[in-house]
Chain A
Amino acid sequence: MSDQNTKFHAARWNEPLIMELSEMGARGIKPPVVDDEISNIVGDVVGDLPEGARRSKLPTLPEVPQHRVLRHFLRLSQMCMGFDVATDMMGTCTMKYSPKVHEHIARSSKLADLHPLQNVKSLQGLLELMHSFNQMMCEVSGMDEFTFQPASGAQGIYTNACLIRAYHESRGELDKRNEIITTSFSHPADAATPSVAGFKVITLMPGEMGFAEIDALKAAVSERTAGLMLTNPEDTGQYNPRIKEFVDLVHEAGGLCAYDQANGNPLLGIVRAGDTGFDMCQFNLHKTFSAPHGALGMGCAAVGVKSHLQKFLPRPLIVRDHSEGYFLDYNQEDGIEKIRAFVGNVHAVLKAYSWMMSLGAEGLRAVAETAVLNNNYMLTRLRELKGVDIPWPVNNYPKLEQVRYSFQKLFEETGITSHDIIDRMVDYGVQHTMTSHVPMLVPEPLTIEPGESLTLDEMDQMVKILSNIIDEAYDCPEKIKDAPHNASTTRIDADVSEDPKCWAFTHRSFERKRTAWSADDRTKIERHGGGY
Chain B
Amino acid sequence: MEKEAGFIHPYVPNAAPEQRRKILDAIGVKNPVDLYSSVPEELRVSGLLNLPEPLESEHNLRDHVEKLIAKNQSTKEYLNFCGAGCWQHSVPAICDEITGRGEFLTAYAGGTYSDHGKNQAIFEFQSLIGELVGMDVVSTPTYDMGAAVNSALLMACRITKRRGILLPKSIGSDRISQITGFTKPVSDIEFIDTHPDTGLMDLDHLKNKLTKNIGAVYFENPSFFGLIESRGEEISELIHAAGALMVVGVDPISLGVLASPGDYGADLVCGDIQPLGIHMYAGGGCAGFIASRDEERFVAEFPMIMVSIAPGATNDDFGFAWSTMQRTSYDKRHESEDYAGTTQWLWGIGAAVYLSLMGPVGMDELGRGIMQRARYAAEQINQLEGASVPYLEKPFFKEFIVDFSESNKRVSEINEMLFERGIFAGKDLSSDCPWISQSALYCITEVHGKSEIDFLIRCLKESLS
Contacts and interface: CB of A to CB of B under 8 A. Distances in A.
25 contacts: A17-B127, A54-B257, A58-B256, A80-B103, A80-B107, A80-B117, A82-B103, A117-B82, A122-B72, A126-B282, A129-B65, A191-B329, A192-B336, A295-B105, A299-B343, A348-B284, A358-B61, A372-B32, A487-B116, A492-B319, A504-B309, A505-B299, A505-B307, A506-B126, A506-B129
A347 B274 CA distance: 14
B356 interface: yes
A59 B360 contact: yes
Given A48-B395, A196-B336, A126 B72 contact: yes
User: Which of B109, B185, B431 counts the most A-chain CB atoms under 10 A from its CB?
Assistant: B109
A408 interface: no
A398 B174 CA distance: 47
A244 B284 contact: no
Interface in B338-397: 338-347, 349, 352-353, 355-369, 371-373, 375-376, 379, 395
A82 B102 contact: yes
A98 B321 contact: no
Given A76-B118, A93-B109, A270 B39 contact: yes
Contact of A341 (B9, B54, B97, B286): B286
Contacts of A79: 115-117, 120
Given A125-B70, A452-B15, A492-B321, A154 B339 contact: yes
A294 B107 CA distance: 6
B246 to A, nearest CB: 14
B243 interface: no
Interface residues of A, number: 225
Contact of B306 (A50, A112, A505): A505
A358 B358 contact: no
Given A31-B365, A337-B178, A113 B279 contact: yes
A132 to B, nearest CB: 8
A356 B56 CA distance: 10
B197 interface: no
B430 to A, nearest CB: 13
A346 B281 contact: yes
A188 B105 contact: no
B349 A188 contact: no
A242 to B, nearest CB: 8
A105 to B, nearest CB: 5
Nearest to B441: A117
Given A28-B357, A203-B333, A272-B45, A122 B78 contact: yes
Given A192-B332, A198-B185, 20 more contacts: A18-B352, A55-B255, A59-B131, A61-B128, A61-B358, A73-B352, A80-B114, A83-B108, A99-B11, A111-B282, A116-B86, A188-B331, A193-B329, A293-B342, A356-B51, A361-B54, A370-B14, A425-B114, A432-B114, A489-B318
B137 interface: yes
Contacts of A348: 284
A37 B342 CA distance: 47
Contact of A38 (B48, B90, B259, B372): B372
Interface stretch (A250-258, A473-481, A493-501): A493-501
Contacts of A14: 317
A272 B375 CA distance: 56
Given A78-B117, A188-B329, A532-B325, A296 B177 contact: no
A4 interface: no
Interface string B90-109: 10101011101111111111
User: Which of B97, B110, B365, B376 counts the most A-chain CB atoms under 10 A from its CB?
Assistant: B110
Interface in A338-391: 338-348, 350, 353-367, 369-370, 372-374, 376-377, 380-381
A494 B310 contact: yes
A81 B114 contact: yes
B362 A380 contact: no
Contacts of A136: 51-52
A111 to B, nearest CB: 5
B411 interface: no
A349 to B, nearest CB: 8
B36 A339 contact: no
A360 B284 contact: no
B308 interface: yes
A484 B280 CA distance: 40
A275 to B, nearest CB: 6
B163 interface: no
A456 B22 contact: yes
Interface string A404-433: 000000000000000000110110000110
B465 interface: no
A295 B345 contact: yes
B69 interface: yes
A182 to B, nearest CB: 8
Interface string A59-101: 1111110100110111111111111111010100101111111
Q: What 7 A-B pairs have minimum CB-CB distances, sorted nearest first?
A: A337-B181, A154-B341, A342-B283, A360-B54, A198-B185, A84-B102, A125-B71
A357 B343 contact: no
Interface stretch (A217-225, A302-310, A464-472, A507-515): A507-515
A45 B375 contact: yes
A230 interface: no
A192 B339 contact: yes
A125 B68 contact: yes
Contact of A456 (B19, B143, B432): B19
Contact of B305 (A15, A18, A296): A296
Interface stretch (B203-211, B212-220, B229-237, B402-410): B229-237
Nearest to B146: A341
A519 interface: no
B356 A69 contact: yes
A122 B103 CA distance: 34
Contacts of A432: 110-111, 113-114
A128 interface: yes
B62 interface: yes
Nearest to B341: A154
User: Which of B84, B339, B379 counts the most A-chain CB atoms under 10 A from its CB?
Assistant: B339
Interface in B13-32: 13-15, 19-20, 22-24, 26-29, 32
A77 B231 CA distance: 43
B266 to A, nearest CB: 13
B264 interface: yes
B372 A34 contact: yes
A508 B105 contact: no
Contacts of A243: 43
A400 B38 contact: yes
B258 A53 contact: yes
B113 A27 contact: no
A348 B344 CA distance: 12
User: Which of B7, B22, B84, B352 counts the most A-chain CB atoms under 10 A from its CB?
Assistant: B7
